[in-house]
Amino acid sequence: MAFCNIAHLKMSQLPLPVPGGRFSRRQRELLDWVADGKTMQDIQILAGLSLSAIEKHMRKARDMLGVETTAQAVGKAALLKQMFAGPDHDPALSR
């Protein structure tokens, strides 16, 4: 019974599938930074990308999730357990 309970707990923490496919590493990284409260200018410096490239990645992530805003994308990605938060989580290290 204990083994079943542990297995259930682990399986319930697995990420759910994204309706439109899989996030790229860059899309997940950018969503993590947005969730951390970074501005687009901050993300531009951190990622070394142009604002138009950042917006392209974010637009693809929004389309994949079927949402209209970046805030909705962050919320839905978190709901699908596609984003990992915690005191030791650093998006720059999840490459």
Residue 76: its pLDDT value, please? 87
Mean pLDDT confidence for 78-86? 73
The 3-class SS string of 32-51 reads HHHHCCCCHHHHHHHHCCCH
Residue 50: its pLDDT value, please? 95
User: Higher pLDDT residue, 77 or 8?
Assistant: 77
Q: The domain 2-93 is classified under which CATH number: 1.10.240.10, 1.10.10.10, 3.40.50.300, 3.40.50.720?
A: 1.10.10.10
**pTM above threshold 0.85:** no
Q: Is the pLDDT of residue 11 over 70?
A: no
> How many residues does this entry show for the chain?
95
Residue 93: its pLDDT value, please? 47
Domain range list for the chain: 2-93
Residue 95: its pLDDT value, please? 43
Characterize 1-23 residue by residue with b for buried, 16 or more Cβ atoms within 10 angstroms of its Cβ, and e for exposed.
Answer: eeeeeeeeeeeeeeeeebeeeeb
DSSP assignment of the chain equals: -HHHHHHHHHHHTSPPPBTTB---HHHHHHHHHHHTT--HHHHHHHHT--HHHHHHHHHHHHHHHT-SSHHHHHHHHHHTT-S--STT--GGG--
Segment 21-78, tens digit of pLDDT: 788 889 989 999 999 999 999 999 999 999 999 999 999 999 999 999 999 999 888 8
